[in-house]
Each structure stands twice: as C-alpha cells, then as structure tokens.
Amino acid sequence: MKRFKSALYLATAASIALTAVGAQAQTKIPFSPGQSAPSNPTDTGNASSVTAGSVDSLLGTGATSIQNVLRSECAAIGTNSPAWVPGGTGTATTGLQPNFACIYEEEGSGFGRQQWRSVNNEWTAASLPNSRFVAVSTAAGTGHVQFAFADSSLLASDLTTFNTNVKATAGDSIMFPKYVLPVAIAYAPVYGQNKNTGKDMSFHISSPVSIGGTPVGGMRLSHSLYCGIFNGDITNFNDSAFTTPNGGATLQDTVNDDATRWGNDGVPIRLVGRMEKSGTTDIFTRALHAQCTGPTNKYATNAETLPYNYSTSGVDFSHERPDTDLKNGGGANAGSTNSVGKEYFDTTTNSIQPSMNSLPGAPTSYPTGKVGSGLYLVAIGSGAVASAIVAPADYNLNGTILNGKIGYVASDYIANSPTGNAQLHAAALRTGASSGGFFMPDAPSAVLAMGTIAPPQATNSTSGVYDVSDTRKNRNGVTLDRADPLSWYDALYPTATTGLAQPSDGYPITGTTQFLGYRCYTQRNREHIVNLLGWETGAVTHDWQNVDHTGAIQGIVTASNIGNLPAGWAHAVNETFLTNSSEISGGHTLGSLNLWIQDSPLPGGNANSTCTVGMGM
C-alpha cells in the first residue's frame, strides 16, 4: 500500500494539549522589565555582534538542522526581531510579542552542548563558519547563551561540567525534545549531462511524490537498499537492487540517457555526511545501527561522528574544523571501520577540496571508475551538505559528467520547505525490514514514527499526565524522572535498537531536537524563553493584544517538514517547565518539584522561588 504524508497535512490541525493558562489574557512583554531597550546606552545586552554593537536578544547556538525553522519562529513571534543578523531590522509581520527577539548561531549539536555547559560561553572553537558574535569580556558577564539545541542527547560528562561551571548561576539543567526531526536521505534529481546532447539526465522515479504541490522526489529505498548504500556495499545507481522497490524499473533517464551507457557505467554513488560533531549524524547513525544488521554494518553505535579510524585511514580534518572528531586523537565515533574519505566540500569556492592534514595515501571519497568508494565526502553543517549534493556534476566517466551524490540532511532543506533547496529531493524509505509502507521525511510521518511513546513519568502517551508509576529506566538503569534531563531523551529509546531508533510505523530515520536550557533566567530573558517554547507547545496561544493565534507557530514548523511534539509530550513539557503545575501523582504535586522556569506562561509570571538574587542566565 502506498503511504505518503504531506508536510502540510497537519499544519493547522496539530494535536497539542493546551494548558488552561494558554487562553488567559496576554499583555505585551515590556522592554524593561523584560527585553531591555536597545536605545539604552548603559545596557550591553546579552553579547556583542560582529559589528561591535549591542545585541538585545536571546542568544542560542547548536544544531544546524533546525536553524531555518527556528529563525522563522523568532521572526514571527517578535516584530523587533533583528533577523538573526546583528544590526538588522525587524522582519516579522505578525508581532505576537513585539519586543521579543532571538539570535541563533548554527554550529552543530556538539558545539551547542559545549556552549550550554560553560558559564562564560565564548566562541572558543576556531574557524567557525557562521560566527555572528565577537567575544565579549568575561567581566561583562554577557558572553553566555540562554539556550542551545542538539539533535543528540546530553552526556553524563556534560552534566558534570554544567554542575561545576553553571549550576550556581543557572539553577538546574533542562533538556527536553522540542522538534520531531526526520533526517532525509537526499539526492539531486539530475544525475549528469548527456555527453552528446548536453541535456540533463534525471533519475526516473516510478512513484514521484509532491508535498504541497512541490515535487520532492520519492526514490524508493528499502532497508536493505539504504543500509547497503551507506555501508558501501551498493556502489552504483544502476544496481539491480533499486529495481524492485521502484516499480520494476531502473532509475535510468530513458529520454536523455541510453540503456547501453547506463548498463555499462550507470552513476557511481558518492556519499555525503558531516565533518563536525553533529546531532543529525547521531540520529542517522542510531537508525543505521538499529536497522542495518548485516555483517558489513559499520555503525556499531550512535554518535555525533561517522564511523572513523585514523590509524587505518590517515584522514584528518583538524585544519578545516579544529573541534571535529575526524582527526588524529579525536573523540567518540559511530564505529571503528573507517567510512570517511579525505575530501570536504568547501562552500566558499563551491568545490571539493582535500583536507590539509590528511596523510599521503589517505583514501579518497571519489569513485574508481564506475564503482563508488563507499566513503563520505564531508561538509560543515546541514546547509553545506545540501549544497554539496546539488553542486554541478563534476565526475567524468568515459566522457559523461556525473553527479551521483546522496547524503543525510535535516528535512527542512528539501525542495518543498520554505527555506529548502529547490534542487534537493528526498528518498521515500520503507519502515519495515521487508514490509510496510514507504514514507517521506515530512512532519506527519515523523510524528507517526514517535508512535505511542510516552514522556517520562507518564503512562498515557496521549495525555502525558504526570504519573509516578512509570517504571521505565534511563540509560543508567534508574527509573525515569522528570527532574532528570536524560530521562526526557531516554524515554524515546528503551534500548539501542528499539523505540524511535527502529519505529514500527512512519518515517524510519526520525529523531528529536532537544532544547537545552536552564531553570533560572534573568527577568529580561525569562519571559522570552517562555514565549520561545510556549508558542510551539501550545502553552501560549494569544498575542499581546489577546488575539488568538493558536497554531501559528506550529504551522511554520510543519511546513518545514519538521514535526511538533505529539500532544502528550507537549502537555508534559508545559506542565513541567512552563507552569507551576497542580498535577498530582503518588501524593506528589508536579509543581512542588520546582522544575518550572516560570509559574505561568503569561507575561509577568513569577520566577521559580529557588532562583535567588544573583542567579539567572
């Protein structure tokens, strides 16, 4: 049965559990208290911009996967949003809270965790490609972020560092899923140019898919196909394994390509992945670890870095990205069998370049003849991966110039997304190993994959109501607890190969993007954090003039192929972190756990009483 879902299908009908306070009267969050007036010369704001001006905004960093949708949300919430470019002007048309503003620097999930856990969050990594800020003096106390995002989980070491460096100022650590993120297997529809006519040759897709009227591809990949591709076992798009799932036809362009050339040379497969520590890589490797069970599977675990081995490869990207783990002496990766070639995609020149520190003889990601190398070309950030995939064909095989690149990228980069690349298409993946529907990486399919998984300390996935009888365990064998940041992630993965790692329905490579925050914020920042979170979870539904805009921000998310939290999870987040909840279980009131940032999502709400004078991010 054909099963495709539209990213817009639930844009206005997302099922979100609204707290009672969501319908109460709203007021404008003032400049002071609240967001400080940009005209105030004595107020340095939260950081300094690259133009050396004050930035009066919430500051965040981390995952590149959600950078576009997050910025769209920020612009829609606040008329005075500086459009995430220091010195920029307001861009929002709705002005749900006119004095709201946030700036986000996308540098990868690993970098987001690093900045979140440090009390003085200066941009310490060299060669950051997206830096929008200059370092501010430690004495000013304004160099830290107020939030971060990661497609991966916090580690125990992150929490240890946080408790040492940040807890005294920020209060307890907070982590929970904010977005449901399908990771697209992306490819360029044009695979080369006919050497005789010069015409583009495009993949023949037997069951093409459109989302919202925009063609987005639909090349069908079974479990065995995508496992074979990303393990280097299937190295050419003319492999017969592509025929059955694609309606019994090959992928050859029967108009502009010829069968003889296709049969002899086909299109060598070229893999594209991430150079920096990436939560998107963590989601991708977790799925391949769980779903690819053959003896050649390189994905021994999930990690923010692809399977890699310096000793056997000599590949080293320390010059291009000093904080990468793809280097001699690098950190954790998804397996010890090397999967990375020596080249990277340089967005400055829009070309493939060799890494400076790789050893002579390091393996190449380029094909050999018609055989793909099975090794990744890497790039920094989701946007660079997308650019690499759709870059003009550059591989000459017997006079025909071919592309053939395929990789993993956040789904909001696909053609139909408002911020997507018109030339980037996505594959439809089969959920089951040998049966089940083919799903596109869109919002409904991602939420469907989350299935009936309940949030921590909840036994009803639909309601998400606080329930201490929940007996599930976290990674350390301890019963799930809402006060434990790890529990909000571990609830999704009962084991390494179950839960969201191998869903029974929906899009099979789906994960979540975690909000990393703090319990204690300054007055100027607290109400803005609540707005940043509450518009999506349904805790905030009315603008400053008390006009109902229910679903406005949620629609931005789903239009970008990213899922909002299911109703039960949204309810659990609202009741735990955005209000002083009266829910009771086992004689315990949820609010008494003091996990909440503000006692009400309304402007003017009170800070947690544990946040004493001098505390706040």
Q: Please spell the DSSP secondary structure of 485-530, one letter per residue.
A: HHHHHHTT-SSTTSGGGS-SSS-SSEEEEEEEEES---HHHHHHHH
8 Å CB contact between 179 and 441: no
8 Å CB contact between 386 and 68: no
> Where are the alpha helices (H) located in 257-378, listed in sequence order?
259-264, 279-291, 310-313
User: Scanning the structure block, which residue is given the tokens 């995430």?
Assistant: 84
Parallel, antiparallel, or unpaired: how do β-strands 376-379 and 270-274 relate? parallel
Instruction: Output the pLDDT for position 509.
Output: 98
User: Scanning the structure block, which residue is given the tokens 């003096």?
Assistant: 137
Q: Is 387 helix (H, G, I), strand (E, B) or coil?
A: helix
d(CA 560, CA 278): 20
- Burial category of 544 from C-beta neighbours within 10 Å (exposed 0-12, middle 13-18, buried 19 and up): middle
Instruction: Output the pLDDT for position 42.
Output: 35
Going by C-alpha positions, the residue among 386, 393, 432 that lies closest to residue 407 is 386
Strands, E assignment, 368-504: 376-379, 395-397, 400-402, 405-410, 425-430, 438-439
- Bridge partners, 378 (sequence order): 273, 344
What is the pTM (predicted TM-score) of this model?
A: 0.90
d(CA 310, CA 503): 33
d(CA 309, CA 336): 5
Query: Phi and psi of 190, rounded to 5°?
Result: -90, 120
8 Å CB contact between 415 and 188: no
Instruction: Output the pLDDT for position 16.
Output: 35
d(CA 70, CA 147): 12
| Separation of CA 354 from chain center | 27
Going by C-alpha positions, the residue among 428, 434, 462 that lies closest to residue 447 is 462
The residues, any chain, with a CB within 8 Å of residue 14's CB and separated by 6 or more, are 551, 554, 555, 558, 564
The residues, any chain, with a CB within 8 Å of residue 123's CB and separated by 6 or more, are 105, 115, 131, 133, 135
Instruction: Output the pLDDT for position 36.
Output: 42
Instruction: Output the pLDDT for position 523.
Output: 80
Cis status of the peptide bond prior to 33, with omega within 30 of 0: yes
Residues in the chain: 617
Instruction: Output the pLDDT for position 94.
Output: 52
8 Å CB contact between 291 and 430: no
d(CA 82, CA 612): 31
d(CA 441, CA 276): 23
Task: Tell me the two tokens of residue 127.
Answer: 């060669």
pLDDT along the chain (617 residues), means of 10: 35 37 66 44 45 62 92 82 35 67 86 85 52 44 78 96 94 98 98 96 98 97 97 98 96 98 98 96 98 94 98 98 96 97 97 98 98 98 96 97 98 95 97 90 98 96 98 97 98 96 97 97 88 95 92 95 97 98 97 96 92 88
| Separation of CA 464 from chain center | 24
User: What is the number of other CB atoms lying within 10 angstroms of the CB of residue 127?
Assistant: 11
Task: Tell me the two tokens of residue 594.
Answer: 């003091």
Instruction: Output the pLDDT for position 123.
Output: 54
Q: How far is CA 254 from CA 139, 201, 260, in A?
A: 67, 9, 11
Going by C-alpha positions, the residue among 443, 406, 444 that lies closest to residue 426 is 406
Positive or negative torsion for Cα 345, 349, 354, 357: negative
Instruction: Output the pLDDT for position 107.
Output: 87
Instruction: Output the pLDDT for position 128.
Output: 57
d(CA 611, CA 467): 26
Going by C-alpha positions, the residue among 107, 183, 190 that lies closest to residue 424 is 190
d(CA 474, CA 482): 11
